Structure 1
Amino acid sequence: MNAAVVAARVEQFRALVAHHLGLQFEEAKMGWLADVLRRRMECTGVAADPYLARLAAGPSRNELGALAQELTVGETYFFRNIDQFHALRECVLPDRLRAPTARRGLRVLSAGCASGEEAYSIAMTLRELLPDPSCELWIRAVDLNPAMIEKALRARYTAWALRETPPAMQQRWFRPDGRELVLDDAIRFAVTFEERNLSEDDPELWLPGAYDVVFCRNVLMYFAAQSAQALVARITRSLAPGGYLFLGHAETLRGLSQAFHLRHTHATFYYQQKDGVAPAAQATPAQADVPDVTGPALAAVVEGTDNWVEAIGKAAERVRTLTQATTGTGGVAAGVPEPWHLGPALELFRQERFADALGLVQALPPESAHDPDVLLLHAVLLAHGGQLAKAEDACHRLLALDELNAGAHYVLALCREGAGDRRGAADRDQAAVYLDPSFAMPRMHLGLLARRAGERETLRHEMAHALALLEREDPSRLLLFGGGFNRETLLALCRAELQASGESR
């Protein structure tokens, strides 16, 4: 058969899978998708074109379930990412029991529940802590894969599935039966399992205010962007005011929703729904090129300072004479930019004329103070100038608009370090890393904080990450957050720190 025809059919199959299931697959998966398509044709006894036509017209629930078995990974285990269950027990549960809706019990959704381990882990966690036995605990667990739902209903597991389960819980809630462990009925009956498609706007599943807590872990990472955004909107609608959302450890709401506060406790991140705040568009940083800046050996500058903020300040000092010579007085350059047009300020930033760039930003109309891009650039420029209290205020105003802005959390980390609050600085860096794992600068800053605290292992871990990320860091982000240093200088700093810690790169 013509290769172009086969490729076109597989591409159509990929598009239909994304439409009906929300699942997104990269080009590298096209050969695997071709195998899945072939197996479904063989199982249904239908040729390629009629099968694709049936999918386009609207597949049956049985066919969607069969596709889910082929396309999704169901491997999981009890208390996966156990820190989230600590947060559920010690922060979320007490808060929800204080809510006005607590009198009717606690309602939890496990979305994408696979073979039930997550939902049963939730049940065990909450059942041991509910102060009033009469308080109703209702856990709804949904998945599209019928084989996973069937396994969950059996509630029989191997010891490997309990590898992270605390021994006391194993003894209380499981009994051995041959090579398997059987879950106690008190936990089994606390969970209702249903076959549901998360990519559908199911009005019964997503009733407004239906749940106190939603676990939707390791689902969004497989969804196409539009499908992920739609799913988050449905979750938002279905949460009670002040309800909580747990995602997988590698997933964030960045770029998907502004309807949640970011929470960080028990070494894990999760979300709490804001009161009366509608989702807003995600801001994207302005694009610019990084200048080829030649400066002092950055490792030596860092070595001679108490913190990274001071190092940035010293870097700014080396161009202050150039700035004053260019403008005559070091003041604002002629011509105020159009509202919300940051090109001139960014060009001054690129030239390391930080005082001039700050002047242009501060000369923007008052209404620009509600623009996330303006606030972020303003905060960065204030930090460059050592005005850390004002920079911190600008960051907080930005986070009031866009709480998931990784850049704002990083600038706050610099401000906290400058104020002598290294613990607060590390917390902000960790938030930035969580929200954007590709962001190099908070990794590097965490490494520098660890060096000053004498934590060599953390230093090596973070600097190794920063080194890898800096190689491919976006030029505009290096411009904004690189402290006035270019890519090669920052890479040299990471290598020098690694070498000094006993690890060569």
Structure 2
Amino acid sequence: MNAPAAPLEVARFRTLLAERLGLDFDEHKLTTLAKVLDSCSGGDRQRILADLAGTAPADSLLSRLATELTVTETYFFRSGDQLRAFGELALPERQQLRGRAEVLSAGCASGEEPFSLAMMARSCGRDSCLSLHAFDANPAMLARAARARYSTWSLRELPDDWRPWLQPDGEQFQLAQEIRRAVRFEQRNLALDDPAFWQPGRFDIVFCRNVLMYFTPQQSQAAVARIARALAPGGYLFLGHAETLRGLSNDFRLCHSHGTFYYQRSAGGEQAMPALPAAAQPMPVLRPATPPEPLWAEQIERASRRIDALASSARAAPPCTPATPDLQMAMASLHQERFGQVLEHIGKLPPQHAADPDVLLLKAVTQAQSGTVARARETCAALLGRDALHAGAHYVLALCEEMDGELAAALDHYQGAAYLAPGFAMARLQAGRLLRRLGQPEAARRELALAAQMLEGEDAARLLLFGGGFPRAALLSLCLAELATMGAAS
């Protein structure tokens, strides 16, 4: 019997999988990786590792690894709100602009997603002047897509008026030929570049849902760069609901319609974006002129470190450095709701810090809380010019919209902030409050329950910035009281 894989062999295997397939495996998956390495190597693990490390790994090996390790869960009409945005907004807009539309489903698994796109296009009368492409790295899934026979489980979300396209065939359902012929499948690895495929401006719409969440950050960034290159200006990108481009790309603007979020490719330079149909609600973002800032959580961590002395007024302020503005006194004034002093502290910072994201965010929060809404909007625009997907800026814009009585627009921004920063408790809380006011109790309960969970571990600096002067316990009590009142009313 062969000896089990050594820890160093498994670690090397894990690194090579990230390089060749983009897949990211945490420490809890090492036992699984060891088993896959043994089963694929036939006992000769060094040969497999050397093949993967070579300049051209065998396609058969990569295919087998993809079959063993990729997640294949999917079904028809998954995240139907995005499919409706595709059929009712993105597809007609792109067809009108370019005369036809090239659509890609990247990581298509067993075909339910691209076939759903074909059904949606046909049901909307948009199936002419349309090319649907789909690829996956897993050959076993592509074989299932070619057979186009599906179980009842795959059809669980299928709209009733689409049922005629799937006819019973024994214990499964066979997809109609007219839908099957609408999609062209191929085996392809999103983690590997192919300039001939990712030609500039080739595609109008790309679906890449629930794929990047399994990639390493580096491979996610590289994959998004390929997609951005291949999307025409104004083209659309749909990700999974648990995925964002935050920290990955500045080439897109965040949009919201049909109850869902998606992205639109920015135009190069100062070119104007194509006009959107009135149904779309694009977030008012600007093209970033600088590289992306660190992740929101990292920004807050930096701010938290700078205000860790708030509890002790006797502690001396750390020296100001050109790279990191000292916001301690300004944050202390914000905590005491001395808004004029906050702005005065910010105004005295060295000029090189005027466009620092932390400075702009603190300034926008202060302006919004002091009621100078127009100036808060201007500051948010400057912040979004540096980071188009800044969750904090969208939160402050939501406050501005709410103060102006634009509740629907405020909700869009609160939900956008929560989408861009999934752990943002205050965004969830405010969204829940607004949903209740707008007569959507079930959605309100969901958001408020999430807020209550997140508040327990919410970063202290983020609470200070966005809590309106309320401590964690008071905000949590507010959440629970809102939920209890809604429960009593139902």
Which TM-score bucket, shorter chain as reference?
0.7 to 0.9
The CA distance in 1 between the partners of 2:436 and 2:108, in whole Å, is 41
Which of 333, 356, 370 is the matching residue for 2:341?
A: 356
Q: Do 2:2 and 2:43's aligned partners in 1 also have CA atoms closer than 8 Å?
A: no
Displacement after TM superposition at 1:392 (Å): 2.0
Q: Within 2, Cα distance between the matches of 1:32 and 1:477?
A: 38
Measured after TM superposition, the shift of residue 51 of structure 1 is 2.5
What is the identity percentage for the equivalent residue pairs of Structure 1 and Structure 2?
A: 50
Distance change >3 Å, CA 388–CA 340, structure 1 → 2: farther
Aligned AA (2:120) = T
What does 1:357-376 correspond to in 2, within 5 Å?
357-364=342-349, 370-376=355-361
Q: Tell me which of 365, 372, 383 is aligned to 1:387.
A: 372
Alignment of 1:312-351 (within 5 A): 341-343=324-326, 345-350=327-332
Matched positions, count: 456
Q: CA deviation at 1:233?
A: 0.4
After TM superposition, give the deviation of residue 288 of structure 1 in Å.
1.7
- Equivalent residue, structure 1, for 2:35: 35
Does 1:288 find its partner at 2:297?
Answer: no
Match of 2:215 in 1: 223
Distance in 1 between residues matched to 2:230 and 2:451, nearest whole Å:
39
C-alpha separation between the residues in 2 aligned to 1:454 and 1:206?
45
- Measured in 2, the distance between the counterparts of 1:250 and 1:20 equals 24
- 1:92 and 2:90 matched: yes
- Report the Cα distance in structure 2 between the residues aligned to 1:380 and 1:48, rounded to whole angstroms: 56
Residue of structure 2 equivalent to 1:155: 148
Alignment of 1:436-451 (within 5 A): 436-451=421-436
- Aligned residue number for residue 59 of structure 1: 57
CA contact (8 A) 1:68 1:144 kept: yes
User: Which segment is superposed worse, 9-18 or 356-365?
Assistant: 356-365
Say if 1:457 and 1:155 are closer, same or farther in 2 by CA, change over 3 A: closer
Q: How much does 1:27 deviate?
A: 1.0
Q: Give 1:47's aligned residue.
A: 44
Contact 2:329-2:345 at 8 Å conserved across structures = no
Letter in 2 for 1:192: R
Sort the Cα spacing of 1:183 and 1:259 in 2 relative to 1 into closer, same or farther, 3 A: same
Q: CA RMSD in A?
A: 2.9
SS state at 2:360 partner: helix
Question: 1:12 maps to what in 2?
Answer: 12
- 5+ residue gaps, structure 1, are 295-322, 327-333
Q: Distance in 2 between matches of 1:40 and 1:5?
A: 12
For 1:432 and 1:206, locate their aligned partners in 2 and report how far apart those are by CA, in whole Å: 31
- C-alpha separation between the residues in 2 aligned to 1:258 and 1:428? 18
Contact 1:106–1:212 (Cα < 8 Å) also in 2 = yes
CA distance in 2, matches of 1:483, 1:202: 50
Secondary structure (helix, strand or coil) at the match of 1:490 reads helix
Contact kept, 8 Å, 1:89 with 1:125, in 2: the verdict is: yes
CA change 1:178–1:457 in 2 (3 A) is closer
1:70 is aligned to 68
2:113 equivalent to 1:118 = yes
Superposed CA deviations along residues 455-489 of structure 1, whole A, max 9, x for unmatched, are 55444332221121111112332222222233233
1:208 aligns with one of 193, 200, 213: 200
Cα distance change on mapping 1:486 and 1:3 into 2, 3 Å = farther
The 10-residue stretch of structure 1 (438-447 or 159-168) with the greater mean CA deviation from structure 2? 159-168
Counterpart-to-counterpart distance in 1, 2:118 and 2:210: 19
Instruction: Summarize deviations over 1:264-309 as a string: whole Å, max 9, x none.
Output: 1111111110111577533242422567999xxxxxxxxxxxxxxx
Partner secondary structure for residue 445 of structure 1: helix
Instruction: Output one character per residue of 1:40-61: Cα deviation in whole Å (capped at 9) or x when no partner.
Output: 22xxx24223322222224211
- Seen in structure 2, the aligned counterparts of structure 1 residues 460 and 189 have a Cα distance that, compared at 3 Å, is closer
Q: Deviations over 1:218-272 (max 9, x none)?
A: 0010010010000000000001121110101111111111111111111111111
| Contact kept? 1:346, 1:357, Cα under 8 Å | no
Structure 2: distance between partners of 1:3 and 1:501: 60
Letter in 1 for 2:304: A
* Matched-pair contact (CA < 8 Å) for 1:291–1:486: no
Separation in structure 2 between the aligned mates of residue 73 and residue 180 of structure 1, nearest angstrom: 22
